[in-house]
Chains A and B, each alone.
Chain A
Amino acid sequence: MSIQTGSAWVEGSGSRLAKYNLLNRINWGRFSVIAIPMLWLAVFFFVPFLVVFKISLSETAIAVPPYTALLDWNLEDAFINLKLNLGNYLFLFEDSFYIDAYLSSIKIAAISTVFTLLIAFPIAYMIARSKPTTRALLLSLVILPFWTSFLLRVYAWMGFLKKNGLINEFLLSTGIIDQPLIMLQTDFAVYIGIVYTYLPFMVLPLYSALEKMDITLLEAAEDLGSKPATSFFLITVPMAMPGIIAGCMLVFIPAVGEFVIPALLGGSDTLMIGRVLWDEFFLNRDWPMASAVAVVMLIVLVLPIMMIRNSQGKEEAV
C-alpha cells in the first residue's frame, strides 16, 4: 500500500514537474532577442527571395507586371491551374553566355579577394600591433572612405585611370612611358575598383582576429626554434583564420554580384553576373529570366558557404 502511494506521489510530482518545465522552457527573453532579427530576415530577405523565386518560375508577358501568374483558377469550372516554367533555368545552362558570366564573376571576385587579403593583412597586422592610442586613429582612417559616397569614389578612380587621367599624365610627364596606358574599361580597372572598395571589409575582421592574438605565442615559437617567417605561417596565419574567412566572405560574396564597379570601370568585354542581371531586367525586361539568374547566383554563393560553416562547426564541436 505504502509503496503504491509512494509511486503515485512520485508520478504526480513528475507530471507537475513536466508542466512547470514546459512553461519554463520558453525563455521569453531569449525568444524576443532571437525573434527580432529573425523577423527582420524573414520580412526583408526570405519573403523577397520567395517573390523572386516565384517570378523565376513564370513566363514573360507584355503586361504589368511583365510576367504571367503561376496560379490561375476558375471557381465556376472548379479548377486550379499551377503552371511552373522551368525553361528559364534550363536556358541558363544551355546558353554558355550565362555560365561564362557566372564563371567570370567568380574568377574576378576570387582574384580580387586574394589581392584584398594580401593588401589588408599587413595593414591589419600593423594596426593590431601599434600602440592603443594610434590604433584608434588608424582604424578610423580605414573607415574614413565610408564617409564619402561609394559612387563618388568609383568616379574618382575613373579620373585616375582614364587615358588623360592623373596616372597617365604623371607617367607621361616623367617620361616613363610615351604612350598613355589603357587602364579604364579593362578587367584591371575592375580589380582595382573591387579591391579598393572592399578593403575595409577585409581589414576590420582581420584586425579583430589579430588584435586578440597573444604575442607571447610568437615568442614561444621563436623560443622553440622557429624563425619569424615560419612562425608567421605556423602561428599567426592559423590564429587569424577566423578573420581571414570572415573577411574573404565579406569581400567575395558582394564582389560576385557587383554591378556598379564593372559598369563604370570595366570594359564591354568584362562579363559579370550583376551586369547580366541588369541587362535582363532593364534592357530585355525579362523579369523571369533575371529572377532565375538571381536565384542561381544565390545558390552558387550560399552552398559553399554553408559547407564551410558546417565543417567549421564540426571542428569546434570535436
Chain B
Amino acid sequence: MTSTLTIEPQSEIVAAASVKTSKMPLWKQEGAEPFLRIENITKKFGEFTAVDNISLDIYKNELFCLLGGSGSGKSTLLRMLAGFESPTSGRIIIDGVDMAGIQPWKRPVNMMFQSYALFPHLSVEENVAFGLKREGLDRSEVKQRVAKMLDMVQLGHLGKRKPNQLSGGQRQRVALARSLVKRPKLLLLDEPLGALDKKLREETQFELINIQEELGVTFVVVTHDQEEAMTLASRIGVMNHGVIVQTAEPHDVYEYPNSRFVAEFIGSVNLFEGRVVEDLPDSVKIDSKDAGKILHVYHGISCAPNQKVHVALRPEKTHISKEKPEQQENCIKGVIEETAYMGSLSVYRVRLASGMEVRVTQPNTTRELGARLTWNDEVYLYWDIDSSVVLTS
C-alpha cells in the first residue's frame, strides 16, 4: 500500500488493475452476493405448469433478459417477482429479503407493463407522481422528482398532456419514468419495446441502456424478441416450457448455444444430424448423412462414440464459392436454389446432394453484379473447424 503511494507509475498500474476487476461482471466473480435470488420457483395453474422449478441468480446492476416464445413462462416469472402471482413453491429473495407474503405495493420493485398501463384519466405528471404520492412525500419533493424524471426521459414539456394525446414512443417513456421515479431496487420490464416501430425501438434500446447505467438499477426484461435481448442484455436466460434452457451472455448464447432449441430460437442455424465417429482430445468427427461426409468440429462437450448429435452452423459463418477451396475438411457441394438480395447482405439457399437445404448469408462487399452467385450455380460450402458447434440435445 505504502509502496504504491510512493512510486507513481506503479500506483497507476494498481489502479488500472482494480478498475479491471471491478469491471469484471459480478456473475463471474466467485462468492458475489446475488441481488435477486430465485430458488426452485414453480408456478402451476391447475394442471398446467407455467414455471417449472427455476433457480436463477441476478446480480446488482445487471440488465437481465428473459427470452422466450409465448407460453414459455417468462411473463409468469416476472409477475411473480412483482407479486401479482404467488409461486406454488420456491422462494424469491430480493436484496436479502424473502418476498413470500409481501404484497405488490410493499415490494421494492416496480414494473413497466407491456401495455404501459398508464392511467388514462391522469396527466403525464400525475401518472409519474402517482407512486410518489402513495409514499406520502411532501408536495414540493414530489413535484421536483417528477420534473427531474420527465426531463430525463425528455418529456418535460408534455407534463400536462393526457396519455391519449401522446405517441407510442412518448407513452413508453412515461411508463418508464413512472416506474423509475420511485427509485426501485429492481425494475421489471415486460416487453418494453414491443409496441414501438423498428426505428424507434432501436433508439429506445440504447436510451434504456443509458438510463440503466446512469441510475444503477437492476433490470429484468422479458421479451420474445431475440434482437432486443441481444442488444439490451448483460445476460440472457432463454426460456422454453417453463424452464430456463440456457443462461449466458448474449455472445455466448449466440455462438455457443447449448441445445437445438437455443440455436434455433436465436438467429437462424443449419443443423446437420450425424453420429460421433471419433472423439479426439479437443475436437470431434461426426459422420453426417445430411452433409454427406464426415464433419470435424472443435468442441467442449463430452460425448460417446456413435452418439447421435447435431452440428449447428450459423449461415454467416459459412463460406460460399464457385471455385473449389483448398480446404478439404468441412467442405460440401451444393446447388443454389434461391437467392435474396437484402442490401447489406445476400441470402442463399443451397440444396445439398442429401436433399438438405443450407442457408448461407454473405456480406455484399462489392457493388458489382457480375461477380454475384445466382440460381443453379454449383457451389462449394466450407467453414472453419471452430465455426460450428456440436449439440447433444
Contacts and interface: CB of A to CB of B under 8 A. Distances in A.
Given A224-B134, A226-B130, A219 B84 contact: yes
Closest 7 CB pairs of A and B: A224-B131, A220-B117, A225-B134, A216-B117, A222-B104, A238-B121, A223-B111
Contacts of B109: 223
Contacts of B224: none
B178 interface: yes
Nearest to B84: A219
A226 B178 CA distance: 13
18 contacts: A219-B84, A219-B111, A219-B117, A220-B117, A220-B119, A221-B130, A222-B103, A223-B105, A223-B109, A223-B110, A224-B130, A224-B134, A224-B178, A224-B179, A225-B106, A225-B131, A226-B134, A227-B103
A18 B244 CA distance: 68
Interface in B69-107: 82-84, 103-106
Given A216-B117, A223-B104, 13 more contacts: A219-B82, A219-B113, A219-B117, A220-B119, A221-B119, A223-B109, A225-B131, A225-B182, A226-B134, A227-B103, A230-B134, A235-B119, A241-B121
A226 B117 contact: no
A239 interface: yes
A217 interface: yes
Contacts of A95: none
A287 B110 CA distance: 68
Interface of B: 82-84, 103-106, 109-111, 113, 115, 117-121, 130-131, 134-135, 178-179, 182
Contacts of B113: 216, 219-220
A226 B84 contact: no
Contacts of B84: 219, 222
B160 to A, nearest CB: 10
Given A238-B121, A239-B121, A226 B115 contact: no
A214 interface: yes
Contacts of B105: 222-227
Nearest to A239: B121
Contacts of A219: 82, 84, 104, 111, 113, 117
Interface of A: 214, 216-217, 219-227, 230, 234-235, 238-239, 241
A226 B121 CA distance: 16
Nearest to B82: A223
Contacts of A221: 119, 130
Contacts of B131: 224-226
A216 B118 CA distance: 9
Contacts of A217: 117, 119
Nearest to A213: B120
Contacts of B118: 220
Looking at A225, A238, A239, the one whose CB has the most chain B CB atoms below 10 A away is A225
Nearest to A218: B117
A210 to B, nearest CB: 14
A230 B178 CA distance: 18
B134 A214 contact: no
B61 to A, nearest CB: 21
B137 to A, nearest CB: 11
A258 to B, nearest CB: 33
A318 B208 CA distance: 32
Contacts of B120: 239
A230 B104 CA distance: 14
B117 to A, nearest CB: 4
